[in-house]
A = this chain, B = another copy of it.
């Protein structure tokens, strides 16, 4: 039978096994229960999943796809705060602190996303210590990442930050099958909005890295040719 309304209807158990997802820590029983308390949707590239100041109705679990979390600064300029991949959860900060969203979540490519009922999820988190710990771990890691970003923005120049951003993209999304193309497509402006610089500076530095054979630009795709040199350019502190 063909489903028209909702062609994307995975089971949590299957999903947790296939991708190494946030919910992989749950046992079979809990996954089946979770399965009954979710609904699934597909978001097209560019679609808004949730927006700043809205109230959270549930937890979003990205089955597959790529998402950016961004906010707009004092003069309306976009700032990309987090980048999300399949298996990740989003919207959990607002849920846990009983707050409104302070980010926009926008699909970077077509993405399948499940929404877990808010009160069910909160209840589950409170009675399942493993899940509770995983949430603490998740939010702690996000805090660590954010604070690393602060140090970069404070202390590094744009060249170092652009190099660092490429390493970050690689670390988050990995390579394509060829083993050197970063597996995500961002516009130059999006890279700039993540790095905290202008689009023009980003372009100039990317083409400089291209010229010096550190990376290779193939359309919008970026290949990392010399990872070590890129690391050195990024002036990492870790």
Contact = CB atoms under 8 A, between A and B. Distances in A.
A237 B72 contact: yes
A94 B147 CA distance: 13
Contacts of A103: 147
Interface in A130-160: 132-133, 135-137, 139-144, 146-147, 149-151, 153-156, 160
Total copies of this chain within the assembly? 2
B93 A137 contact: no
Interface SS majority for chain A? helix
A79 interface: yes
A235 B149 CA distance: 22
Interface in A105-145: 126, 129, 132-133, 135-137, 139-144
Interface of A: 71-75, 77, 79, 81, 93-94, 96-99, 102-103, 126, 129, 132-133, 135-137, 139-144, 146-147, 149-151, 153-156, 160, 196, 235-237
